[in-house]
């Protein structure tokens, strides 16, 4: 009986999220460059979650092929993550609309009201990242349909505020649209906690890197399995005049190399050889190349091992469906235990 009521309670807790996403479980796959492609994305959606393609630095034709390949592998809903600073953003948006992608997730900057309106008019639901309450309110005014709040525990490019603080700041104040919590989420108990605080669902990235369906190199996966939470460190900014978005990754030769790369780029910037925008782009190109070398080629020493602090909860390679089943089972067990305590 407790199990049945726990299921009913969980269904109710994330009903807004499942209705918005169109899936069984309000568990979004974080968009990870080179990792979140057709195989993993379709596996997450087929297992009842919501997969999201990472467009990253893909050009329009490559994104078009990726969406088509994903649609061939699943008839379930999935989304596409677009980076706002991408130079061909408008062309990428056109591809999403032409392929009738149901949800477009905007990240890496503040999207314009015009872009949001264009995507919505084209039939897509628009999700955007909000690093603060003020930006969340502004995005809602500009018409986004849902928000993702991602804390500093996440992998890859991060903001300065922890997930728990963002959740406390934003969830009680935002009721207009569904809000999905991300960053350091690795177990179902955490999902329940955020749902009870008012979230409509959660987004997980690091937890899916070692999925059987993930195309990440075996050496990349092995590094994740071996790592603990404290191994996922944040990059430092070398030059105060060259602002760079910090990146969380497993410490290795690549993270040490980034310090030297920053120095070289900063020196060229100070000599007037690069504008600030060009310098920042070179920094981003470094990360894009280093990440590909690690994920695809297996260069786990010189490449970038972008990982969230939840990497310590990744213990083995396992099928995507099994990962999602574990998360749901943990969530149900947490709710059932709570019911027993309340009844006692």
Helix residue ranges, H only, 175-302: 188-196, 218-226, 253-270, 276-295
Task: Tell me the sheet residues that pair with 204.
Answer: 29
The model's pLDDT over 3-31, given as tens digits with 9 standing for 90+, comes to 679 999 999 999 999 999 999 999 999 99
Say how far apart CA 137 and CA 322 lie, in whole Å.
Answer: 37
Tokens 């749901």 label which residue?
328
Helices (H) and strands (E) in the chain, counts: 13, 11
Asked if the model's pLDDT at residue 239 lies above 60, the reply is yes
Mean pLDDT, rounded, for 289-316: 97
The model's pLDDT over 106-160, given as tens digits with 9 standing for 90+, comes to 999 999 999 999 999 999 999 999 999 999 999 999 999 999 999 999 999 999 9
Considering the entire predicted model, what is its pTM? Answer: 0.96
The model's pLDDT over 197-233, given as tens digits with 9 standing for 90+, comes to 999 999 999 999 999 999 999 999 999 999 999 999 9
Confidence of residue 289 (pLDDT cuts 50, 70, 90): very high
Q: Where are the domains of the chain?
A: 2-215+316-335, 228-306
Apex 303 CA angle, 54 and 279, nearest 5: 75
pLDDT at position 10 is: 98
Asked if the model's pLDDT at residue 55 lies above 90, the reply is yes
Say how far apart CA 154 and CA 159 lie, in whole Å.
Answer: 9
Apex 222 CA angle, 217 and 227, nearest 5: 130
3-state DSSP call for residue 94?
helix
Say how far apart CA 78 and CA 334 lie, in whole Å.
Answer: 28
Mean pLDDT, rounded, for 162-188: 98
Specify the pairing of strand 146-150 against strand 156-157.
Answer: unpaired
User: Domain spanning 2-215+316-335: which CATH class is it, in words?
Assistant: alpha beta
Average pLDDT, whole number, for the chain? 96
Task: Tell me the sheet residues that pair with 82.
Answer: 106
Say how far apart CA 208 and CA 205 lie, in whole Å.
Answer: 6
What are the Cα distances from residue 94, in Å, to 42, 55, 104, 122? 22, 13, 11, 9
Contact 75, 102 (CB under 8 A): no
Contact 31, 105 (CB under 8 A): yes
What are the Cα distances from residue 264, in Å, to 59, 251, 269? 28, 21, 9
């Amino acid at each position: 009986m407790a199990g049945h009521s726990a299921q009913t309670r969980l269904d109710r807790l994330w009903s807004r999220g499942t209705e918005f996403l169109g899936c069984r479980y309000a568990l979004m796959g974080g968009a990870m460059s080179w990792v979140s492609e057709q195989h993993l994305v379709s596996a997450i959606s087929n297992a009842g979650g919501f997969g999201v393609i990472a467009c990253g630095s893909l050009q329009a034709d490559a994104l078009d092929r990726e969406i088509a390949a994903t649609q061939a592998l699943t008839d379930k809903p999935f989304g596409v993550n677009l980076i706002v600073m991408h130079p061909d953003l408008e062309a990428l948006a056109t591809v999403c609309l032409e392929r009738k992608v149901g949800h477009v997730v905007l990240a890496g900057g503040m999207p314009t009201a015009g872009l949001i309106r264009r995507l919505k008019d084209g039939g897509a639901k628009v999700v955007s990242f909000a690093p603060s309450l003020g930006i969340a309110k502004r995005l809602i005014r500009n018409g986004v349909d849902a928000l993702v709040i991602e804390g500093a525990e996440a992998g890859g490019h991060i903001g300065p505020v922890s997930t728990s603080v963002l959740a406390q700041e934003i969830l009680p104040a935002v009721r207009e649209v569904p809000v999905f919590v991300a960053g350091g989420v690795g177990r179902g108990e955490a999902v329940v906690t955020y749902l009870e605080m008012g979230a409509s669902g959660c987004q997980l990235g690091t937890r899916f890197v070692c999925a059987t369906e993930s195309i990440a190199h075996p050496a990349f996966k092995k590094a994740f399995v071996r790592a603990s939470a404290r191994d996922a460190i944040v990059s430092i900014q070398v030059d105060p005049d060259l602002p760079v978005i910090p990146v969380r990754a497993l410490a290795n030769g690549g993270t040490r190399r980034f310090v030297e790369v920053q120095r070289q780029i900063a020196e060229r910037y100070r000599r007037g050889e690069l504008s600030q925008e060009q310098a920042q782009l070179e920094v981003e190109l470094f990360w894009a190349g280093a990440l590909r070398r690690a994920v695809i080629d297996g260069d786990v020493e010189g490449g970038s091992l972008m990982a969230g602090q939840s990497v310590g909860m990744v213990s083995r390679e396992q099928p995507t469906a099994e990962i999602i089943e574990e998360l749901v089972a943990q969530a149900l067990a947490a709710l059932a235990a709570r019911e027993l305590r309340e009844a006692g």
